[in-house]
Chain A
Amino acid sequence: MTMQNVGRPTRPEGSTETAGFQSLTGGRGLLQDEPLIFELDGWTKTGVDLPEPEADASDLAGLTRAGLELPGLSEPETMRHYVRLSQKNHAIDLALYPLGSCTMKHNPRLNEKAARMAGFADLHPLAPVGATQGALELMDRLSHWLKTLTGMPAVALSPKAGAHGELCGLLCIKAAHEAAGQGHRRTVLVPTSAHGTNPATAAFVGYNVTEIAQTPDGRVDLADLEAKLGDHVAAIMVTNPNTCGLFERDILDISRLTHAAGAYFYCDGANFNAIVGRVRPGDLGVDAMHINLHKTFSTPHGGGGPGAGPVVLSQALAAFAPAPWVVSGPDGLHLVEEAVDEAASAFGRMSAFHGQMGMFVRAYAYMRSHGADGLRQVAEDAVLNANYIKASLSDVMTPAFPDGPCMHEALFDDSWLDGTGVTTLDFAKAMIDEGFHPMTMYFPLVVHGAMLIEPTETESKRELDRFCHALRSLAATAKLGDVERFKNAPHLAPLRRLDETLAARKPKLTWRPEFPANQ
Chain B
Amino acid sequence: MRFTKDHEWVVLQGDVATVGITAHAAEQLGDVVFVETPEVGKTVKAGDAFAVVESVKAASDVYAPISGEVIEANGELGSAPETVNASPENGGWFAKVKLSDPSEYEALMDRAAYDAFLATQ
| Residues 478-519 of A at the B interface (beta carbon under 8 Å) | 500-501, 504-505
Nearest neighbor of B54 in chain A, beta-carbon distance: A504
Complex alpha-carbon distance, A500 and B82, angstroms: 14
In the complex, B119 has a CB within 8 A of chain A: no
Nearest neighbor of B82 in chain A, beta-carbon distance: A505
User: Which chain B residues lie closer than 8 Å to A501 at the CB level?
Assistant: 31, 33, 56
User: Which chain A residues lie closer than 8 Å to B34 at the CB level?
Assistant: 504-505
User: Which chain B residues lie closer than 8 Å to A505 at the CB level?
Assistant: 31, 33-34, 81-82
Give 1 or 0 for each of B13-41: 1 = CB within 8 Å of chain A CB: 00000000000000000010110000000
Interface size class of A (residues with CB under 8 A): under 10
Chain A contact residues, majority secondary structure: helix
Complex alpha-carbon distance, A386 and B73, angstroms: 52
Give 1 or 0 for each of B58-86: 1 = CB within 8 Å of chain A CB: 00000000000000000000000110000
- The interface on chain B, measured as residues whose beta carbon lies within 8 A of the other chain's beta carbons, has a size of 7
Give 1 or 0 for each of A261-293: 1 = CB within 8 Å of chain B CB: 000000000000000000000000000000000
Nearest neighbor of A501 in chain B, beta-carbon distance: B31
Complex alpha-carbon distance, A501 and B54, angstroms: 11
User: Which chain A residues lie closer than 8 Å to B81 at the CB level?
Assistant: 505
| Residues 62-121 of B at the A interface (beta carbon under 8 Å) | 81-82
User: Which chain B residues lie closer than 8 Å to A500 at the CB level?
Assistant: 56
For B34, B54, B56, B82, the residue with the greatest tally of chain A CB atoms inside 10 Å of its CB is B56
CB distance from B46 to the nearest CB of A (A): 23
Complex alpha-carbon distance, A501 and B56, angstroms: 6
CB distance from A9 to the nearest CB of B (A): 51
Complex alpha-carbon distance, A137 and B81, angstroms: 56
User: Which chain B residues lie closer than 8 Å to A504 at the CB level?
Assistant: 33-34, 54, 56
Complex alpha-carbon distance, A501 and B82, angstroms: 10
User: Which chain A residues lie closer than 8 Å to B54 at the CB level?
Assistant: 504
User: Which chain A residues lie closer than 8 Å to B82 at the CB level?
Assistant: 505
Complex alpha-carbon distance, A77 and B31, angstroms: 40
Nearest neighbor of B33 in chain A, beta-carbon distance: A504
User: Which chain A residues lie closer than 8 Å to B56 at the CB level?
Assistant: 500-501, 504
Nearest neighbor of A505 in chain B, beta-carbon distance: B33
CB distance from B103 to the nearest CB of A (A): 32
Complex alpha-carbon distance, A500 and B54, angstroms: 13
Complex alpha-carbon distance, A505 and B83, angstroms: 12
| Residues 307-362 of A at the B interface (beta carbon under 8 Å) | none
CB distance from A431 to the nearest CB of B (A): 20
Complex alpha-carbon distance, A504 and B33, angstroms: 6
CB distance from A169 to the nearest CB of B (A): 26
Complex alpha-carbon distance, A505 and B81, angstroms: 7
Complex alpha-carbon distance, A54 and B10, angstroms: 73
Complex alpha-carbon distance, A298 and B19, angstroms: 52
Complex alpha-carbon distance, A483 and B81, angstroms: 31
CB distance from B34 to the nearest CB of A (A): 7
Nearest neighbor of B30 in chain A, beta-carbon distance: A501
Nearest neighbor of B56 in chain A, beta-carbon distance: A500
Complex alpha-carbon distance, A330 and B56, angstroms: 59
Nearest neighbor of B34 in chain A, beta-carbon distance: A504
Complex alpha-carbon distance, A252 and B82, angstroms: 51
Complex alpha-carbon distance, A504 and B82, angstroms: 11
Complex alpha-carbon distance, A500 and B56, angstroms: 7
Nearest neighbor of A504 in chain B, beta-carbon distance: B33
CB distance from A504 to the nearest CB of B (A): 4
Complex alpha-carbon distance, A193 and B54, angstroms: 22
User: Which chain A residues lie closer than 8 Å to B31 at the CB level?
Assistant: 501, 505
CB distance from A84 to the nearest CB of B (A): 29
10 sampled A-B residue pairs with Cβ under 8 A: A500-B56, A501-B31, A501-B33, A501-B56, A504-B34, A505-B31, A505-B33, A505-B34, A505-B81, A505-B82
Q: List chain B positions with a Cβ less than 8 A from chain A.
A: 31, 33-34, 54, 56, 81-82
List the 7 shortest-distance A-B pairs measured between CB atoms, nearest first.
A504-B33, A501-B31, A500-B56, A505-B33, A504-B56, A501-B56, A501-B33
Inter-chain pairs besides A505-B31, A505-B34, 11 sampled, C-beta below 8 Å? A500-B56, A501-B31, A501-B33, A501-B56, A504-B33, A504-B34, A504-B54, A504-B56, A505-B33, A505-B81, A505-B82
